[in-house]
Each structure stands twice: as C-alpha cells, then as structure tokens.
Amino acid sequence: MLAALKTAPPAGRAALLPALGRLGGSEALAVVRAAMNDPDGAIRDAAVRALSNWPAATVADQLMQLAREADQQPHRVWALRGLARVIARQGGTQPQETSVSCSGTCSRRGTD
C-alpha cells in the first residue's frame, strides 16, 4: 500500500490514507504525518482521519495537539474522537470522560 501511495494521483492518495490508519506501523505513520502538511485539502483531511483511527497509542500526543490547535473544526473533532479511542483501548479513561476533560481546552476553538 505504501508503494501505491507514492504513485497514486491526489484522489487515490486521499482514498488510501485512511486505510493506513487502521494498519499502523512506523513507515505508515511517517507517510500519514507527511500527508498532514500536503497542499491538497482532501489529502490533509484523509491524513487526519488516518491518524484519528491509528491502532496504537503512539499518536496520542499528536492527536491532543491537533484537538487543541488544528485550524479546521473537523480536524479538531476527529482528533478528539481519536484520542478518546486511543485512551479507551489502553484501558484508561472512558471516552466520555476524555471528551469532557479536553472540552475546556478545545471549546475555545468551537469543538464542543
């Protein structure tokens, strides 16, 4: 899949990126992180969705940063939901509690 992403047109990249969020892995994470800075908005959206569905807690800090600082409200919401899933998978706080604890930080930007 990583090889296909390198040669895919923008629409193809946007379609493939979310699948990386379910597969995980260090190479896939590097591709997703790079795509978050792509000039194409659809690719950036797909990259944030991929990160929000990441199967490991290694992305928790980046999701928190996105929830606080992303310019686009959908990105902040996706990141917050992804963070709640990561924490729940790790046996930590329940997703509802995570949303509440971050809402004070995120509400200033309109994510609650």
pTM of the model: 0.79
Whether residue 95 sits in one domain with residue 70: yes
Whether residue 37 sits in one domain with residue 18: yes
Whether residue 97 sits in one domain with residue 68: yes
Number of separate domains in the chain: 2
Which residues span the domain enclosing 93? 63-112
In a domain, 104, yes or no: yes
pLDDT score, position 98: 45
Whether residue 83 sits in one domain with residue 108: yes
Nearest-angstrom CA–CA distance, 54 and 49: 9
Q: For tokens 């193809």, name the residue.
A: 12
Contact 79, 63 (CB under 8 A): yes
In a domain, 41, yes or no: yes
Of the pLDDT bands very low, low, confident and very high (cuts 50, 70, 90), residue 87 is: confident
Nearest-angstrom CA–CA distance, 69 and 87: 19
